[in-house]
Structures are given as C-alpha cells and as structure tokens.
Amino acid sequence: MDSAAVASAPPAANSAFNTETVLWVKHWTDRLFSFAITRPASFRFRSGEFVMIGLPGLDGAKPVLRAYSIASPHFAEELEFLSIKVEDGPLTSRLQHIKPGDQVLMGKKPTGTLVLDALKPGKRLFLISTGTGLAPFLSVARDPDAFERFGQVIVTHTVRDVKELAYRDLFTAEIHDDPLVGDQAKVQLVYYPTVTREAFERAGRITTRIESGDLFRDLGLEAGKFHPDEDRIMLCGSMAMIKDVAALLEAHGLVEGSNAEPGDFVLERAFVG
Ligand code: A2P
C-alpha cells in the first residue's frame, strides 16, 4: 500500500462506532459496576433501548463489543450503564478496569423492545428484573412519560445478595428529589426488591411471589394475578426468569408486544458476557 492509499483510508469517524470518554465509574460489588460516558450530540435513543459498548481489540484484534441497556432516560446529558464483571469475559474482564478519562467504543444505532411504545395503554406498569436486567428500567422509570402513561410504575429487582441491590438508594430516596419525575415518583412509583440467597425483608424469586400472589397482596391488588385489561409488563434479566415469567403472563392471557405491534408485555435478555 503506498502512502496515497494510506492517506485516503476512511477516518475512524466513519466507522460504526463512536469513541466516547468515561465520566465516572461506581463499583457496587466484585460482580457489579456502573459507569457513565459522554453522549455524542447526534445520538438519539428511546428510554429502555440498548446499544453496543466495547473496547478496541488487543494487539490489533477486532474490537470487542456487547449489547448494553442504556440506564439513563432518553434526555440525559450522559449515558449510564450497569454491568456485571466476568473474570474471563472477553469484554468485562477489561471493561471493569476503566477509569474516568478512558475511552470506550459505542455503537451508533440504539435499538430494543423495552420501550413504552411497544406496550398498549394500561393502568399499571410492572418493570420486572433480575441482576443487571435492572438497567433498562432505570431509564424507563426516570422518564416522565412512564408516569404519564401509567397510574402506577412498579420496579421489581431480584438479586442473590442484599449488596447486589444496586440503585436501592435511588429508588428509595434520591428519585423523590428528581426535578423531572420526583413528584410523580413519590406517588406513583413502587420499588420492590427481593433477595434469594440471604435473609431479607422480602425473600425469594419474583416468580414465586407472582405465583403465590404475594406480589399482588403486597401492592394491595385484590385480583391476586396479572390482568390483561390493566397490567403491562417489561421483563429483563436472566433467560430463565424471562421464560418463567413470560409463561405465567401468557397463562394469565397477556400477549407479547413489539415495536411493530404493541402488546401487554415485552422482554429482553440482560447482557451476560
Ligand atoms: P436464585 O438465587 O434462586 O438463583 P444471577 O445473579 O445468577 O444473574 O441471578 C439473579 C437473580 O435471578 C437471583 O436472585 C436468582 O435467584 C434469580 N433467578 C434465576 N433464575 C430465575 C428464574 N427462573 N425465575 C426467577 N428468578 C430467577
């Protein structure tokens, strides 16, 4: 290749990725961390969508990217993410060491089904998550649109240990002072954490609490189950949880929706590798 050919090689700006700067990193546990990056002026997304996030390959190898739900609402100035740490994970083994000022790659095209537009109107919105599956619901539950469309927004988060209840302070206190959704959150938002592997005020898997009716009893809902006329649900987390809850929802007569055809519930697997 001569120098003219090198000079005419496409600049990085034409690639499928933007290069963004890490603004902050918060480590919750040795399995879980959050980080935020700069938002390119041209980047638009809907609350609940995901985007590819990654790092350049080592020693000239291809970049390593994975899908990450954006935890910020669509109007936020910075883009926040919640990630697991996998010791030998191709991306997270390195991503967990990022520091403010470092650069990460971000895809240019956000997408996803955990968006309010994929649901029919309803009375209540259940945002049901396990582990890092909470991420898209941090976006949806900080979006005033959720409170305008639904009378009640219930965020459930199931984790193994109490220390994995990331964002517990946000949902129990900080969100009430949010200038945009604070007043609505005080009245309309219910945070419903459950813990499966140590003692906690609400023990057990969310599936168990749905099947036993405890979830509905705790919320003061007499029906004791999901109702197709009133309840809308988003699911995000482990594949097993999504499969189990989707089966329960279908048994209650609820129908899965999509961007093309809004329905009663939508689902997305959380990022795992
Ligand atoms: P459990 O401790 O009973 O396995 P992980 O950390 O592995 O991603 O799991 C996050 C949470 O999801 C755990 O509390 C786990 O409960 C729960 N979980 C796993 N599988 C299911 C399922 N099929 N239905 C409901 N919750 C589940």
* Model confidence band, residue 273 (pLDDT cutoffs 50, 70, 90): low
Residue that finishes a domain, picked among 78, 107, 136: 107
Residue from 32, 82, 86, 130 whose mutation best tests the ligand 1 pocket (most atoms within 8 A of CB): 130
Beta strands at 50-55 and 64-69: parallel, antiparallel or unpaired: antiparallel
Residue that finishes a domain, picked among 72, 107, 142: 107
Same domain, 128 and 256: yes
Scan for tokens 């002026």, then name that residue. Answer: 41
What is the count of structural domains for the chain?
Answer: 2
For residue 82, the CA-to-ligand 1 centroid distance in Å is 17
Q: What is the mean pLDDT of residues 201-210?
A: 96
Same domain, 196 and 84: no
Q: Looking at ligand 1, which residue's alpha carbon is closest to its atom 19?
A: 241
Same domain, 131 and 244: yes
Containing structural domain, residue 35: 3-107
Map residue 83 onto helix, strand or coil. Answer: strand
- What's the whole-model pTM score? 0.94
Same domain, 149 and 69: no
CATH number, domain of 95, equals 2.40.30.10
- Each residue's pLDDT tens digit, 67-76: 999 999 999 9
Same domain, 96 and 143: no
Residue that finishes a domain, picked among 82, 107, 132: 107
CA distances in angstroms from 131 to 17, 201, 264, listed in the order given: 27, 18, 23
Q: Looking at ligand 1, which residue's alpha carbon is closest to its atom 1?
A: 196
For residue 158, the CA-to-ligand 1 centroid distance in Å is 7
* pLDDT confidence of residue 13: 53
Residues 67, 130 contacting (CB under 8 angstroms): no
Q: Looking at ligand 1, which residue's alpha carbon is closest to its atom 5?
A: 131
List pocket residues of ligand 1, CB cut-off 6 Å: 130-131, 158-160, 196-197, 205-207, 238, 240-241, 244
Atom of ligand 1 nearest to the CA of 131: 10
